[in-house]
Structure formats: structure tokens, C-alpha cells
Amino acid sequence: MKHSIWITALAAFVLTTSLVAVLSIVFYTRVDTNPTLASFGEILNINADDFKSNTLPTRFIDNKAPQLVDQAFETKYDWTVPKDSRIILVPHHMVAAREVASLLKATPEPKIIYFLMPDHFSAGRSALTTSESNWQTSSGKLEIDYSKIQQLTASLPELGINDQAMSQEIASQALFPYIVKAWPDAKIVPIMFNNDLTPDIRVSLANALVQELENDQDAILLATVDFSHYMPVQVADFHDELANDVLQSLADLEVDKIELDSANVLGTALKVARTMQLGQVTIYDHTNSLKLLNLDDPADGTSHFFVSFSPGEINTQQTVSLLFLGDMMFDRTVATRSNASGSLSYPFAKISGQEDRFFKGQDFVIGNLEGPVTDQRRAPDKGEVDFMFNPKIASVLKNVGIDAVSQANNHTLDQGRLGAEQSHQYLNEAGLVAFGDQVNDDAESSLAILESRGQKVAVLGFNITDNALDKQDALEALRIAKEKSDYQVVYIHWGAEYQAKPNQSQIDLAHWFIDNSVDAVIGAHPHWMQSVEVYNNSPIVYSLGNFIFDQDWSVETNKGLTVGLVFSEKGTAVHLMPIQITKSQPAILVGLERQNRLNRLAEISDESIAEQIKSGILKNYK
């Protein structure tokens, strides 16, 4: 492990200090002519009598904060940053303190730093907030550029002054001492972004910053953003594939798709970079707090990118990412449990995670809706396997973040053709794309085109559980899909229930689809996770198993698989994320339980890809 002593010390520090100390790792107060008790001091329960000239007691300045900052710089990496870099991106999650120190120290010292950060607590009250005070940090005094701040506040009415809000902000607490340590002679223009910042204000600020940077070659823009939050590592890694693509292509209009803490900060930085043609994007590291601390706590992870932007040709966006979910059923015991909880979104409560982040961070989320959304049951009654879902389920699916659902399964016609047609209507009215049919395989029934970030993906739904595939209709649908899209995915309902491996007819049909130019095949219906294969560089996941169901009676029916696909011209990456279903609520598996499921998947799959499966990621580049 790299610098294991450093990691051990850092882990101990993070786990034993207070929350404020963990997040800030700096103790500082304003330096001005009208001192008041800093709210940060109140957070730490410091007595007002301890303040002398509005400076925190020496014990705090000389103890943990300067020690950690010094260690971060002493153990830094020897990165090389282009001398003409104009924008630097770092996190403010100081588990990655060494990486922050490495990138700042490697960057040629500027004279002026325009520092963009989130306003996590919306303490600034205005859309944008800056400061008119210098700051004493554990690493020294950080001076503002008063004249530049006056210019910006005069030209941007949305930019307010609030020193107390600045003192409360996590990002300023975390990074001010690193800035002054790396660049002791630089002056700073700090700007905090409220979450409610409107796009027009973002553009106005970006234009003002472009003008400042173009007029002063000794100025840089330093932006701080933390990426994936509160997600297990495997989910964060998948989400960050989209983030990486947006960063590399300076796609400022796409930042809202990323799972991160401030789309406004990143969007402004990328808008400045795009306007100034800073297309040489260098990513020095991509880290995750759970990896850095060798932890496996699914509720506490944060991912980070360390990036410089210098002049160069701007890249186009290269990838499109899709998250596939298994069978979703909202009748029977699932409905009973949801009604008892008082919320139809009950099944999603665990997997959504804090701030509902699981369903963010990819271009599309697609699942199999195992029945119709309709307002009444219709004859004939099939008993316990006669499904219909509350019409309100459509808006629940949309609100949690699902984009498209397949109706190509053996329950779509449970309430007759009228119920199936009504289901499409409810789903479409809620803003969902519905594709596939129980019996029809023509393009009109099976095909939907999804478009995001300049990429088009065709999804085709087929069901062969109770009728044979019409290959002539399917071929025509595939031809149209190829004409209208960059990538094609078949999501098929097939196979025998409660089996770990596909039968020969499934294998033959999957290969037939890929021989006819399909880029990936995803299966459902068996209610069990089934094997994975790579055929002609295209992935096949024979069955995802259940996602939301009430089959509590066996181990396998309560475990499933979610799959993240990332398509690019280089090929396809497949992220394998096993789940546990408890009382119809799925949750991502972590630690040993996750590894056991991946090992099981490797055991039933092709031996040639077993090690990749165990790692949780298949990369098959052409």
C-alpha cells in the first residue's frame, strides 16, 4: 500500500476526531478591524474569552491542523502540471489531503486565485457569496484581493458579502491552509455558490471570470468539488465514468447529470475552460475515501478527481452509461408492504441511499416492469400471478430516477390488451419511456431510442417466455435501431425460472442478436442471477434476477444483480453490482457479502472472464 504509514495515521485521525475537525482540518478566524466571535469557534464550543484579537487559541493552531497539512505536503506525489494551466480542480474532502497538496504544490504559484466552492449550508443568503476579510489559518495568513472583489461585486449584483458564512463553509475551512501553504504570496478571491444558483447567474459569473483570467496571465481559477457521495465504491466508480467523460470534454451543460455536491461550481469552471479553449485536461488521480482508508462502509464514501486544465483542442463526449435493473413487481405483498409504510416508494427506500444518489450519475436507468400499470383488474383472473399496479406507481418510478421500463414480459397482458395500452399511457404521461410487448416483436412495439449527451442508444424489448420470437420482425427492428442509434441493447425476457445457468436456446439466441450487431444483451425472468458471458467483444448478462419482488422464500430470489453499461468507441465496460432484497427492498451488497456473490457469479460463468467478474468490472475493448 502506498505510503502505508501516512494512511494509517490519517485513518486514525479521521476516525477519532470530531466531525468538524474531520471535515475542516483547519482552525482559523477572520483577521479584520471589527472582530466578532467566529461561528466556527461556537461549533467547537470554544469560550469567547479564549479569543485574542479574534484568533483561535494557539493550542488549536499548533496541534492537529498544521501537523496534518505539513504531513500532506511532506508525502506529496511528484506530479507535473503544465505551466500554462489556468484551472485546477480539487476536492475539499480532506481524506485526500496528500493528493490535494500534491496538485497545488505542483501548480506554478499564481498571484491571484479565484477560488470557487459550494455553499453547503446556504449560509450566504445570496446566490453567490464572497468575503472582504483576510484569514489567519494554521498555515499562515491568507490575504484577499480587495480590489478584485470590489470589481466583481460591482458587476455582479448576485454576489454578496458575508464573512460569517465564509467562516462556516466546509470547503474554506478545509482548503484555505493548503492554499496558503502551497502559494504563500498569492491573494485570493473566494466565491461560494448557493445550490439554488440559476443558469443565467452561472453564465454571468463565468463570463466575468474569463475576462479576469484573460487580462491577468498570473491568475488561476481553483474550483473544489466532491463527486460521488454516500455510495458504495462500486456504485461510485460506475457513476464517475460519466463524470470523467464530462470533465474530459468540458461539457458544462451536462454537469447536472453527474453525481456530485455542486453542479454549479463545476459547471462554472467548465464553462470558463470551454470559453478559454482549455481542452488539455489532465486527470492526475481519481480516488475514493473508502479505498484510501481501506473501509467498506456503504454510507460514508466520497470520490474525488484531481484535474488541471490548460490550452488545447476540446474533446467530444465519448461515452454513454446505462444502469439496468431486474424484475420490478408492485402487486401482492409488495403493495401490502408499501401501503403499510404509507409510501408507494417504500421499495426504493434502502437502495436510493442518502440524498437519493443511487439513481443519479448515469445517462439512463432502465428496468423490467413485471406487469401493467392500470386502474382495474380485468378477466380472466389468474390468481396470485395476476398482476396490476397502482397508476401512481408510474410517477413513483419517474421520481426515484428511472427513465425507461420494458413491458416485454409474460405479465404485461394480465389485464388484457386494454390494460397494456393503459399502462403505456400512464407511463408516458409520467415521463417514462415504455418499450416492448408481451407478444409483438416489430419495431413499433419493441424499440425505443434514448438520447443523452449527443449519444443515441436503442433499447429493444422482447419476450419469449410464452411465445416464440418472430425473427423476421426482430431483424427489421434491429435494422431500424442500428440506423437510428449509436449503440443497441436487447433487454429480453426468457429462460427457465429458478436456474443459475441459461439453457442452450438462450445462448444461441443471445449469440444471434450479437451476430446481428447488438452491442449487449441483458436478460430477465428466471428470478435468479444467471451467468455472464462475453461473445465477440459484446457482453451478455443472462439474468439480473429480481430487483423488487416478494419472493421471500429462498436465498436466490432475494439476491439479484444490477448492471452498469458504459459504451464508447473503444468498447464496453460492465459494472456488476449485486443486491440483497429484504422485504421487497433492494440494497447494494458490500464487503464480504458482495465478494461472495461476485465469486458465485464467476463460478457459474465462463472461466476466461472469472477474474474480471470477481473484480466487479468487465472491460472488453475492441
Q: What is the mean pLDDT of residues 531-545?
A: 98
How do residues 558-584 score in pLDDT, each as one tens digit? 999 999 999 999 999 999 999 999 999
**Predicted confidence band at 354 (pLDDT cuts at 50, 70, 90)?**
confident
Q: What does the pLDDT read at residue 380?
A: 84
| pLDDT classification of 9: cutoffs 50, 70, 90 | very low
Structural contact between residues 94 and 64, judged by C-beta atoms closer than 8 angstroms = no
Going from N- to C-terminal start, the domains of the chain cover 4-310, 320-621
C-alpha cell at 503: 439453457
Q: Could you give the angle at the alpha carbon of 603 between the alpha carbons of 600 and 608, nearest 5°?
A: 135
CA 284 – CA 65 distance, rounded (Å) = 25
Give the model's pLDDT for residue 299: 65
**What pTM does this model have?**
0.91
**Closest listed residue to residue 165, CA positions, set 138, 132, 208, 143:** 132
Q: Which residues of 245-269 are buried (b: 16+ CB within 10 A; e: fewer)?
A: bbbbbbbbebbebbbbbbbbbbbbb
Task: Work out the average pLDDT over 463-485.
Answer: 99
pLDDT beyond 60 at 22? no
Which pLDDT belongs to residue 379? Answer: 82
Structurally, at CATH architecture level, domain 4-310 sits in 3-Layer(aba) Sandwich (3.40)
Per CATH, the number for 320-621 is 3.60.21.10
H runs (alpha helix) in 115-159: 146-155
Give the mean pLDDT of 134-151: 93
In this structure, of 49-63, 95-109, 243-257, the range with the lowest mean pLDDT score is: 49-63
